[in-house]
Amino acid sequence: MAKPYREGHLWSFRLRVQGQDLYRTGFATAEAARREHDRLKHTLCMAGRPAHAGPFQATLGQALQTYALERFPFMKGARQDASRINRYLREAGLETVRAVPPVPSEPLPSTGTVHWSVQLDPVRRSRSIPQGLHAHRARQTARSTGTDRIRKQLARTPMAQILPYQLQELLDTMGREGYQAATLSLERSLLRRLFNYARQSWNWPEPVRNPATGLKLPSVQNARDRVLTNAEWRQICEALEDCRNPYVPPLLALLLETAMRVSEPLLHARWGDIDWARCLLKLRDAKAGARDVPLNPGAIRVLQMLRGEEIPDDAGVIFPVTYEAVKAAWQRACARAGVKNVHIHDLRHTAATRFTLELNGNLPVLKVITGHKTYSQLNRYINVKADDVSRLLHGRPLTEADAPAGLHLSAPLSPKVETAATSSPAEPSLPTNVIPLFRKGAIVKSGVLEVPNMI
């Protein structure tokens, strides 16, 4: 057994076990150094040989890079995590990671659904800044001086030596520099997943306790409860009549009629995925995995109107438009309509609240409509207000204008749905909340939705 030895006023030791060369110093006595020596030797012998360089040799930056290469192909949110990981890699002088769509010819891992191919980009002394973003990047750099300093220190520290107070200092500094609570939570979540993965998948015995657990964070106040009313939706519809992109109005109408996330019809919906007889849209993938979206009468009619007379290619996308184009058109329409503080995602809140009233709070049915996995997730989207409860308690009627967009009090709650086999797709009738989207701006001709020239 290697004996502890004195270095100046302190004691140190060296240990080689399971292919790892370890050096420890800073002990006040030889006995303290010997106890740590025996503990480390026992721990490493019991754990077995670790993967990669091990927690005593690999720095946090190196561990993050290896984690990205191994896990990012299977993570839908890899691009968001890549931006966070790259901050550490740049500070450590390591190659940064980039998630790109996989090439079909590339050999893929044998297990799991592959979403990305991960590439390493060479180290750059200075990052190229797009034209017009120099001032913004300068403000970002000045704002994050303290955070970057701590990240640099952490990125170059061996994983086994990282302690909770160092990560707490990072999060506290981020808070003082103006980062939002949600950003702090995502930073902590990334580090916590890394340490858990290192212990479970790489067989790294140190640190014994995950240093990213138990950290103090400000509460995240990002819940939205904005519900559009019929009156507001009508104003937005009228503003959308001047939209030059023919796919934006029907997409927004479909979101309101189905409670889908905007990414679901944009990224995953094909014409061949629509089961017209069963009134279902089969999403091959989504945020929570593949699912069937029930299509109510309004959704069926929007899709029929968009399809037109000709049957489109099954492999063709339903909405050949980008999210950026949809978002820009939405913001312009809301500005013209004078409707404030409303996001595209609020259509999902609105639809969930509307269906809650239509279906008398039938939560199992609502969970199928929205595609949520748990009732707690679903409840975040059911935004019944205190005014609604007060109205019920006093027997005051809900007016059509103030009802959630899409809820029409004079219409039956469960109208019959005309399927593609029984209805004419060339001239389908539309629910009243969809009519303005097709009344003036959008015209269906030969299966292609077109818009006339408008100033």
d(CA 380, CA 218): 20
- Rounded to 10°, the helix 134-143/145-155 angle is 70
Q: Which member of 41, 84, 282, 287 is catalytic? A: 287
Return the structure tokens found at 99.
């998630």
Find residue 27's DSSP bridge partners.
11
Place of tokens 């999210």: 323
Residue 322, CB-side half-sphere exposure with 13 Å CA sphere: 3
* Strand pairing category for 117-121 and 96-100: antiparallel
CB atoms within 10 A of CB 124: 10
Active site residue 179: no
Q: Mark out the alpha helices in 108-262 (DSSP H runs).
A: 134-143, 145-155, 164-176, 181-201, 230-240, 248-258
Active site residue 41: no
d(CA 6, CA 364): 68
Active site residue 381: yes
Contact between 236 and 101 (Cβ < 8 Å): no
Q: Which member of 188, 234, 261, 307 is catalytic? A: 261
Active site residue 348: yes
Residue 373, CB-side half-sphere exposure with 13 Å CA sphere: 5
How buried is residue 96: exposed, middle or buried, by Cβ count under 10 Å (0-12/13-18/19+)?
buried
d(CA 191, CA 212): 6
Instruction: Please give the positions annotated as active site.
Output: 261, 287, 345, 348, 372, 381
